[in-house]
Amino acid sequence: MSTTLPAALPDLHPVPSGDAARTYLVKTLGCQMNVHDSEHMAGMLEEAGYVAASPAQAADEDADVIVINTCAVRENAADKLYGNLGRLAAAKRARPGMQIAVGGCLAQKDRSGIVERAPWVDVVFGTHNLDVLPALLERARHNAAAQVEIEESLKVFPSTLPTRRESVYAGWVSISVGCNNTCTFCIVPHLRGKERDRRPGEILAEVEALVSQGAIEVTLLGQNVNSYGVEFGDRGAFARLLRATGAVPGLERVRFTSPHPAAFTDDVIEAMAQTPTVMPQLHMPLQSGSDRILRAMRRSYRSEKFLGILDRVRAAMPDAAITTDIIVGFPGETEEDFAETLRVVEASRFSSAFTFQYSPRPGTAAFDLPDQLPKAVVQERFLRLTALQDRISHEENRAQVGRTVQVLVAETEGRKDGSTHRVTGRAADNRLVHLALPADASDAPRPGDLVTVEVTHAAPYHLVADSALTGGTFLVRRTASGDAWDRRRTGTDEHSHGGAGDACGTGGPTGPVVLGLPTLVRR
């Protein structure tokens, strides 16, 4: 359904000539796909003449336009949205002309009900029509009425839209949108539609464009990346895409998320092991260790197949770190079923796990299943599972002590870095590493630089590398990404827009890189 809107208004622009540029803030709730969608929303707004709110303005939610990009996977998704909207209602009353837009999965699901419940919302748009955001904002201003537009199928492939990248050194690259699976607990296929695959040339063009702007890491993104190619009849396409992406000159790290165990094939393992730039890291969703529950979830694999995949991955890449998703308390789950999950988790030796209590979602097949479990039972099992995974994660991280790792320094991941005098980044296997700087470090690493250090301490969910304090290993390799970060920080990057200052000549700090439709770099 597409809510009827007035005809397109001629000669209207989101930021009329002569007006001060309006500021915007995009708030993201949800998964990596939502994060990347938010980058597209920001890119479209900047192309339309808006400027990003400064960090101080963002912290105060002080912007002319605030966009909330929603998630609908968990039961508390609506609570998060309306909690945000309730808080913003007062801000809007105090700020004439302020606009609030809601997009993403919950907008696709609830549609005009959002405006009915929160009539101060100006714009509601769905997952299939991100491109309409600037036009809907202007129509809402012009008509002084809320605008709702929801499409049932994809109109514009998101990756063709302008993109305001949050990082100059690492970027998301969508290889597909939507999902063809029918997992009974999942509402994503209903909200994002059937899988649509991008052509390999388009993907590689975007990767090349990112590298030309300074990125040295990309993550290939899809709801089910290893089914890539089915739409155009090539079941080996994902393995070949991994190899081709890994061969892009200047790219140093390739990751992907998320695969599905049922479609995960040995040619992908071979491509990972044989392509040096593909990192030894894999996110493989388990969901349950019980074959009976997997069947009820319509997950078309069983626990032994899952464990077999992990065995083959580790045979090819002994140092691979494997993470997962697990749901506790699916309808009808017995203590015996849960014990099977604990067994598989113990055998899998995940470096970390995203664990969830089952959340009933209207519109999913599991919503109407009998034997919904009491909250107390689910909570007790959840605590047992997280305690087990905490122990395993700590054991696996303690095995890293003494190893030499190369860390890609990040900009914001270490919340305590200021007090601990460390910087933070990710090792090749995606483990979080906090690393100390030598006392006389005259050439401190920048975000985007690579630092080789020795792991000295381990916690369940991060590593500490203080080797620089004892005269141990500490080698900084300055990279094109670090150079790009410097240009962005100093306002000398001609490709940057937004931020607290004006990237077009006032010398203020700039915002992340904006890329439009990518083209291949000619070498």
Cβ partners under 8 Å of residue 239, min gap 6: 265, 267, 268, 270, 271
* Residues of each annotated binding site: 31, 71, 105, 179, 183, 186
Give yes or no for a contact between 33 and 178, defined as CB atoms under 8 angstroms apart. Answer: no
Residue with the two structure tokens 């309808």? 331
CB pairs under 8 A, 24+ apart, for 272-277?
272/242, 272/313, 272/316, 272/317, 273/316, 273/317, 274/243, 275/242, 275/243, 275/246, 275/247, 276/246, 277/245, 277/246, 277/247, 277/251, 277/252, 277/253
Residue with the two structure tokens 């837009």? 101
- Of the candidates 167, 301, 316, 331, the one whose C-alpha atom is nearest the C-alpha of residue 224 is 301
Give yes or no for a contact between 86 and 109, defined as CB atoms under 8 angstroms apart. Answer: no
Transcribe 310-354 into DSSP letters: HHHHHHH-TT-EEEEEEEE--TT--HHHHHHHHHHHHHHT-SEEE
354-369: b (≥16 Cβ within 10 Å) or e: ebbbbbebeebebeee
Evaluate the omega torsion of the peptide bond into residue 442 and state whether it is cis, within 30 degrees of 0: no
Q: CA-CA distance, 500 to 175, in Å (whole number)?
A: 32
Give yes or no for a contact between 326 and 344, defined as CB atoms under 8 angstroms apart. Answer: no
Residue with the two structure tokens 């049932």? 152
* Residues of each annotated binding site for [4Fe-4S] cluster: 31, 71, 105, 179, 183, 186
